[in-house]
Chain A
Amino acid sequence: MARRSPEPLLWLLFSAGGMAAALLVPVLLFLFGIAFPLGWLSAPDHTHLLSVLRHPATKVILFGLCLLCLFHWAHRFRYTLYDGLRLKNLSLVISLFCYGGAVAGSVAAGVVLFRI
């Protein structure tokens, strides 16, 4: 029986994104978003960061993180609009916006990261 519902795969992406975000986002956001700007820790210099970013493993990992996080956002945001604002009747528009956004964001992430 070949029923092709996208839900299982979307859910897998959402779950993987949730796990990746839970594990990696807090430390990155804390360092770059708060600790360095406020001077709690001295920010690393440009050369160091550039060398880290140029490492292929970093690129792949960051790209994966961005992609999964975006699909995680897309899935949750879609259901938040469905349930939290009771907009389920707009489900097609909402799905296009959310998952389309995630795809577009992932492409952008790829362009930024792999051009370094």
Chain B
Amino acid sequence: MSRTPASRRPGPAGGSGPTPYRKPVPIFWWLRRRAYLVFVLRELSGVFIAWFVVFLLLMAGAIAEGSDAYEQFRDWSGQWSVVLLNVIALLFVLLHTLTWFGLAPRAMAVRLRGRRVRPGPIVATHYLLWALLTAAVAWLILKG
């Protein structure tokens, strides 16, 4: 079957009606609906994840350089402005985590014994994994 579809307005001489009205989209369209605003904030979380990478590398570099550099890094990261930035970043990252786990069942069609697994258990598995990894990382860092 190698049919290709037609998509044309039939009839002779084409449309003669008046032009339809197209509503313009404002630049800040995402301020008009709560759901759109949440979406844009979610997308902005990417910026803070990038910031975290920068922060992590600065710290790693400082640790590698020696204990003096590490102390300097600690002084810098203890400034209220840096802490505030990290608090905001953490809030965005948490928004990312929650929305990410919430959307995970959308992309995955997990099948167990022929049956599609419902979204609930998939989300729960993500949270469980998150808890385990968080505990492991915390243990590794704090055990010293």
Smallest beta-carbon distance A14→chain B, Å: 9
Interface size on B, residues (CB 8 A): 53
* A23, B90: Cβ atoms closer than 8 Å: no
A29 touching B133, Cβ below 8 Å = no
B: residues with CB less than 8 A from A are 25, 27, 30, 40, 43-47, 49-50, 52-53, 55-57, 59-61, 63-64, 66-67, 70-71, 74, 77-78, 82-83, 86-87, 89-90, 93-94, 96-97, 100-101, 107, 126, 129-130, 133-134, 137-138, 140-144
Other-chain contact of A53, B30, B50, B64, B67 (Cβ < 8 Å): B64
Q: Counting CB contacts under 8 A, is A60 at the interface?
A: no
Could you say which of A26, A43, A115 has the most chain B C-beta atoms within 10 Å of its C-beta? A26
Q: Is A96 an interface residue (CB 8 A)?
A: no
Asked if A46 contacts B70 (CB within 8 A), the reply is yes
Not counting A29-B55, A74-B46, a sample of 18 additional A-B residue pairs whose C-beta atoms are within 8 angstroms of each other reads: A17-B49, A18-B100, A23-B133, A29-B89, A29-B90, A31-B138, A36-B74, A41-B142, A44-B144, A48-B144, A65-B53, A75-B46, A77-B46, A79-B43, A80-B46, A109-B57, A112-B60, A112-B61
Cβ contact of A34, chosen from B45, B46, B60, B83, cutoff 8 A: B83
User: B85's closest neighbor in chain A, by CB?
Assistant: A33
The interface bits of chain A over 31-52 (1 if a CB of B lies within 8 angstroms of the residue's CB, else 0) are: 1111011100101111111111
Q: Shortest beta-carbon distance, A66 to chain B, in Å?
A: 5
Q: What are the residues of chain A within 8 A of B134 when measuring CB–CB?
A: 23, 26-27
Residue A10 CB within 8 A of the other chain: no
Instruction: Select which of B50, B67, B141 is within 8 A of A31 by beta carbon.
Output: B141
